[in-house]
Structure 1
Amino acid sequence: MEEKQNWHNLDFKEAARILETDIENGLSEKEIKKRQEKFGRNLISKERKASSFKIFLRQFKSPLIYILLVAGVITLFLKKYSDSLVIFLAISINAVFGFWEEKKTSNILEKLKKVLKTKAVVLRNGQRVTVWEQDLVPGDIIFLKAGDRVPADARLVQAEDLKISEAILTGEWISTQKKTIPLPKETPLADRDNMVYMGTLVEKGKGIAIVTETGRGTEAGKISRLVEETKEEKTPLQKKLGGLGRFIGFLIGSFCFFIFFGGILRMGDVLEMFEASIAIAVGGIPEALPVVMVVILAIGMERILRKKGLVRNLSSVETLGSAQIICFDKTRTLTQGKMALEDVLSSDNQLALKIAVLCSDGFIENFKQSTKRWKINGDATDKAILEAGIKNGLVKNELEDDFPEIAKAPFDPANKYLLSLRKDKGKFFLYISGAPEKILERSKNKNGWQKKINQLAGKGLRVVGVGYRELKKEDIKNEREINLNRLAFDFNFVGLIALKDPLRPGIKRAVSLCRSAGIRPILVTGDHKLTAIAVAREIGIKAKGQEILEGRELEAVSDQELDELLEKIKIYARVEPSHKMRIVSAWQRRGKVVAMTGDGVNDAPALKKADIGVALGSGTEVAKESADLVLLNDSFSIVVKAIEEGRVVLDNIRKSIAYILADSFASVILVGFSTIIMGWPLPILPVQILWNNFVEDTLPNIAYAFEPKERGIMKRRPSSPTSPLLTKEMKVLIFGTGIIDQLFLVFLFWFLWGHLGFDLDYVRTMVFGALCIDTAFVVFSYKSFQKNVWQMNPFSNKWLNVSALLVFVFLFFALYCPPVQKILHTVPLGAKSWFLLLGIGFMSAFLVEIT
């Protein structure tokens, strides 16, 4: 038995021969067991869920954490237990907090899942039996009916008015009318009308098919493999923080090397120089930074969750704010994924709707209950027509009582229309509904209608034509043997019913906001070109001929040619999963941060490949597993809110980094200048620097997470993934603050120790106090890199105000609590000392602002 075939190109009898199966009897039990051993279970392997231990270990993957671990081990080796305790405490808090946030997100996603084991009706040993779909094998004969999920890929043997929704696989929102005749080899997946595919939904009719592929061999399985093979890239923030960590590590290593060997060359004590090097390392390493990053990202994640967006991992929060390109999938992302009445073109709208309702195969399942509980069954077209009828007072069940049906000719894919013979007060009417061109061919009044049909089709609308013909009694003498198709001519063409998949509320505004935020919107859909153009026009994307590319054209160009076309293309139509990945990859080669939206199985590979994959909460599990952001209520407006929050997070991360690095820079310069240049003893002890870096700095830094968005944040251009984390304004502020702080602290140390000759413990306590108080005063300068404190409200963030006050509370503990005094080697300070420290803090903040 051959394993790979173009099944759509074969007659179903030939397919049965190749698969060695009997259409009349199915497979035998013996053959089924053999095939189950050969092909395995009919399952698509899912991506393994990360264990709790793996999620915990992930928290340590950062250059900054590596540096802290090294510093912790060295201080432990030197028996500086208080120093190592504080360092390992910082690492632990970071790991626990990060683990807790990611685990919570994972649990929320698990609750979204609906794992259902489904069954299939299959022919085996000449008998119809029901089996679990995972037990199906190639060659099985399966039976399909309305409401079924197709359990495997299969070649149709019989199709009776069979319509299947393949939106999750192809992106095409209109259900496909199935048939059994062979098709050309080159027929695209979306047009293979003689095949049914795993996971798609039977909307109408019934059918019999031969299973051709199971499990990972199915089209859904191929997409699943594509997802698994897609390598997940680091986010821009991860790359930038990694670069920052390596840069800090290099600088600290260079400083330590210079101080240690420079001190020895100056005939300094080796142990003393080693301690000075450790002080430099401790002062330069921003111990609080990993913790603060996790907190800021987690708070951003919580804010997005409150707006009904679930971010699956912390680092993706900032990536949202960096989005430069957003590729929209159409069906159910931009649109609601269901048909609705758009327009009726007729001289008698009620008559046109009445005919459409009476011809419809849809029905109200629970008609006798209240209207709120009515459930409409049928394919997408039938549902839309019945809903429109109900809104206009034309309820099918009531109409059928008034106009009883005598005979019916079901929809025929060849004729593309449906006929219904009805009785109306002693008269007989033959109603017709279907493809307008086919009905027009059989009508008397044709003038002007073709132009209207073309206009509606050009707008991407689904158009249904309706008409009627009054029959004489002699036309239907024998009601039981009426051949309605012989009477299908000379109709009165009544009008056109236009249906569409309506846009979701707020989509136009959301796309407009993306544009004003410097984000380029691109429509990428499996739909037909005309439909894609119409939807794009509705959301504000205007595209000419050369700005639209279809899947077959994309297939024909090389990556290099695609790179050249990229800037021009606004719409991609009739695309397949591999095409979406190529589009994402092409933009990424240009160095752009790409967001991709989707909800179907076909979207999953591109969602994973994109920098930001966005899936609908009601979408397929494979799409949600591949995404970075899940829209819990399916509203696209959440994406814009998430992008805004991402930008706020990036702003606040930069404020926090600048604040921490300025403090660390001041500590490094203070220790280096005092010990190497001046040959003084350490002006501040490593454990005191650790207290300042981790205890005093952490709360103000966390408070930056609550900074409100700055005005015009969604009018800015998005941050480039290649742009440095430290901007020019940040560097000026970091070095300016560091130098000013260092000058004050060096002068203070010299004045108290070198000039007045105070005790070294007291002088170190004063330097330590000045460094801490400076933290409380300067924290407000970092609220904005563009404005001075007097140009804004410096106290707008209540948490920042509280954190500044807590700096003083912790400093009181450090100076007046005996156990803490013992650890930090501090002494109590008097009122005069406090006045001096407050004066230094105020002057330092003032000089930072004016420079």
Structure 2
Amino acid sequence: MRRGCYKQIRRTTMVAAPETKAAPEVPWHHLPTDQVASRLASDSERGLSREEAAARLRKHGPNVLTARPSKSWAMRLLAQFHQPLIYVLIVAAVVTALLGEWADSIVIALVVAINAAVGYLQESRAVHALEALARTMTGEATVIRDGERQRVPLAEVVPGDLILLETGDKVPADVRLLTVRELRIDESVLTGESVPVSKQAAPVDEGAGLPDRRNMAFASSLVARGHGLGIAVATGHHTEVGRISGLLSAAEALDTPLTRKIEGFSGKLLYWILALALVTFFVGLLRGEPIIEVFMAAVALAVGAIPEGLPAAVTIILAIGVARMARRNAVIRRLPAVETLGSTTVICTDKTGTLTQNEMTVLEVVTAQGRYAVSGSGYDPTGSFTVREGASPESSQALREALLGGLLCNDARLVHAHGEWTIVGDPTEGALIVSAHKLGLRGASVELGLRRLDALPFESERRYMATLHQPNDGAPIAYV
């Protein structure tokens, strides 16, 4: 098997949330389960009451991530003029207009306007793309309140809520696990670890690092396999992913190498132009020229020395770079940021989710009747089998049974949404489902005439999974 190597950009959606006082640090991973419930004034069997959940929602605020307030459209537009060279061009346009040089004034004004329009439109496009992404990041969580299981929006999960986790669920908050059954969670969004992590309910050392807190499920991670029950101990910006988003929101915007060089060049150019204009003015006075004519000549010299085409040329070049990156699904919010990548000498990155998509693909199947190469990549079930040696794929009963076993001893699901194929569950199980589909074995076990009766979940100690199925006729069949 191999991992599909594709570029993928993962972003954390952040929306505004009310300011709340940070809760004191509590080593939830170190506390026994009964102490966790008592510290949060919750019931490990019945959960919170609906009234208490509503009260805590008012106290702690919605379960969303805090972000720096976005700029208004007016501020984004005005920011496009906040460049030294643009200041010089605006002054030049005004002076040339006062001198009656309307053609030059209009040309300079158009250059300034085009530069501001391109920058504003590109930034607005990026803002709208992120807002559209935020609208899609909605979902629900399964909680127990008043002893009843119910689905609530993710934003309404509060500390003390009793959370049920199942395969395919997105963890709604930081959760201290109380009971688990073969629970494995994909925490690559936080740790970069591609393999789902096995979870437990027993306490761990107080000094354990984030990856070693096996009794915790963290917000924004995904349940790859199994079931779990736990208590929400942190929501919103108090979660681990909330701390990361807080650091990102507090980060100051730095000037790019290009903007620093342009600012330095503009400053030096402005000083030289002013100095040259003053020299011209005083030389004219020493020659006895009329003061008005000398002044007009100095101003004309200053205006002529300004490179009006420089901002337009830089803007066009950056816009071309933005368009090329947009075709590769990279959204650039500020034009000068395009140049920064060209100045990068070292890139430090993790592999999973950055250089790869954490997708598994079956490339070859070996049975007693032959060897078969499998075409296709990722989770798209489009592909075929090619004989390397042995019987043809269509006539090989051993190949069919091998793929059928992988399809039935499986808790993952293949999903087609928004034109893309994805897997809900473990990536390895997803690869087995896709390979079976490529041979034409599709549908649930009921549709295949093999209804599942029971299952023995996979455990690392025994290294296998087994399922028991009832055919439409005949005795039950076990697949391992």
TM-score w.r.t. the length of structure 2 is: 0.76
Structure having the larger proportion of residues in strand:
2
Aligned equivalent of 2:162: 141
Residue type matched to 1:10 in 2?
A: L
Q: How does 1:91-106 map to 2 (within 5 A)?
A: 91-106=112-127
Task: Give the one of 196, 203, 226 matched to 1:182.
Answer: 203
Q: In the alignment, which of 182, 186, 207 is matched to residue 165 of structure 1?
A: 186
Question: Of residues 141, 153, 156 in structure 2, which corresponds to 1:132?
Answer: 153
- Work out whether 1:319 is the aligned partner of 2:366: no
Q: C-alpha separation between the residues in 2 aligned to 1:357 and 1:92?
A: 62
The structure with higher relative contact order (CA 8 Å, sep 6+) is 2
Per the alignment, residue 357 of structure 2 pairs with 336
In structure 2, C-alpha distance between the alignment counterparts of 1:239 and 1:4, rounded to whole Å: 41
Q: How far apart, CA to CA, are the structure 1 residues paired with 2:57 and 2:447?
A: 50
Relative to 1, partners in 2 of residues 1:295 and 1:273: Cα closer, same or farther, differing over 3 Å? same
Match of 1:697 in 2: none
- The equivalent of 1:202 in structure 2 is 223
Query: Which position in structure 1 is the counterpart of 2:303?
Result: 282
Aligned equivalents of 1:103, 1:365: Cα separation in 2: 36
Deviation of 1:152 (Å): 0.8
Task: Give the equivalent residue in structure 2 for 1:64.
Answer: 85
Which residue number in structure 2 is paired with residue 222 of structure 1? 243
Change (3 A) 1:297 1:39: same
In 2: Cα distance, 1:23 partner to 1:153 partner: 16
1:10 maps to which of 31, 43, 64 = 31
Q: CA deviation at 1:91?
A: 2.5
2:465 to 418, 434, 457: 418
What is the CA–CA distance in structure 2 between the aligned matches of 1:375 and 1:86, rounded to whole Å? Answer: 53
Residue matched to 1:551: none
Q: Distance in 2 between matches of 1:409 and 1:296?
A: 60
Letter in 2 for 1:7: W
Cα drift, residue 315 of structure 1: 1.8
Per mean C-alpha deviation after superposition, the further-off stretch among 385-394 and 115-124 is: 385-394
Q: Are the equivalent residues in 1 in contact too, given 2:223–2:425 (CA < 8 A)?
A: no
3-state secondary structure, aligned to 1:27: coil
Stretches of structure 1 that go unaligned for 5 or more consecutive residues are 367-372, 433-851
Moved more, 184-193 or 16-25: 184-193
| 97-106 vs 201-210, which moves further | 97-106
Q: Secondary structure at the match of 1:43?
A: coil
Aligned CA distance change for structure 1 residues 407 and 275 (closer, same or farther; 3 Å) = closer
8 Å contact kept, 2:159–2:235: yes
Cα 1:315–1:277 change in 2 (3 A) is same
Tell me the equivalent position of 2:426: 379
Instruction: Give 1:690-769 correspondences, 5 Å limit.
Output: none
Q: Aligned partners of 1:107 and 1:134: how far apart in 2? A: 22
Whole-Å Cα distance in 2 between the matches of residues 364 and 252 of structure 1?
68
How does 1:533-552 map onto structure 2 within 5 Å?
A: none
Cα 1:22–1:307, aligned 2, differ >3 Å: closer, same or farther? closer
Matches for 1:441-480 after TM superposition, within 5 Å: none
Q: Distance in 2 between matches of 1:402 and 1:36?
A: 48
Inter-partner Cα distance in structure 2 for 1:85 and 1:291: 14
Partner of 2:292: 271
Task: Report SS of the residue matched to 2:164.
Answer: strand
1:737-785, CA deviations, whole angstroms, 9 ceiling, x for partnerless residues?
xxxxxxxxxxxxxxxxxxxxxxxxxxxxxxxxxxxxxxxxxxxxxxxxx
Moved more, 227-236 or 392-401: 392-401
Equivalence map 1:527-606=2 (5 Å): none
Shift of 1:212: 0.3
1:679-698 equivalences in 2 (<5 Å): none
Q: For residue 411 of structure 1, report the CA deviation from its aligned partner.
A: 3.0
Does residue 361 (structure 1) correspond to residue 433 (structure 2)? The answer is: no
Partners of 1:210 and 1:220 in 2: CA distance? 17
> Whole-Å Cα distance in 1 between the matches of residues 412 and 328 of structure 2?
38
Higher helix share: 1
Q: Give the 3 Å change call, closer, same or farther, for CA 296–409 of structure 1 in structure 2.
A: closer
> Separation in 2 of the partners of 1:416 and 1:10?
31
Match of 1:238 in 2: 259
Displacement of 1:311 after TM fit?
A: 3.2
Q: What SS does the aligned partner of 2:136 have?
A: coil
Deviation at 1:295, TM superposition (A): 2.5
Aligned residues: 426
Task: Write the deviation string for residues 623-643 of structure 1: whole angstroms up to 9, x where unpaired.
Answer: xxxxxxxxxxxxxxxxxxxxx
For residues 310 and 375 of structure 1, what CA distance do their matches in structure 2 show? 23
Contact 2:414 2:433 in 1 (8 A): no
Cα pair distance change 1:300/1:360, threshold 3 Å: same
Check whether the contact 2:325–2:331 (CA below 8 A) recurs between aligned residues: yes
Structure 2: how far apart are the matches of 1:149 and 1:398? Answer: 25
Query: Which residue of 214, 221, 225 maps to 1:193?
Result: 214
* Shift, 1:18, TM fit: 1.5
SS of 1:164 mapped into structure 2: strand
* CA deviation string 1:192-221 (max 9, x = no partner): 221111122223322211000010000111
Contact conserved, 1:409 with 1:420, CA < 8 A, in 2? yes
Aligned residue for 2:379?
Answer: none
Q: Which amino acid aligns with 2:410?
A: D
Instruction: Note the C-alpha offset of 1:223.
Output: 0.9
Cα shift readout 1:286-323 (whole Å, capped 9, x = no counterpart)? 12222232233223433444565543332233333333
Whether the 8 Å CA contact 1:154–1:197 is kept in 2: the answer is yes
In structure 1, the residue corresponding to 2:155 is in which secondary structure?
helix
Which of 95, 119, 139 aligns to 2:140? It is 119
Q: CA RMSD in A?
A: 3.8
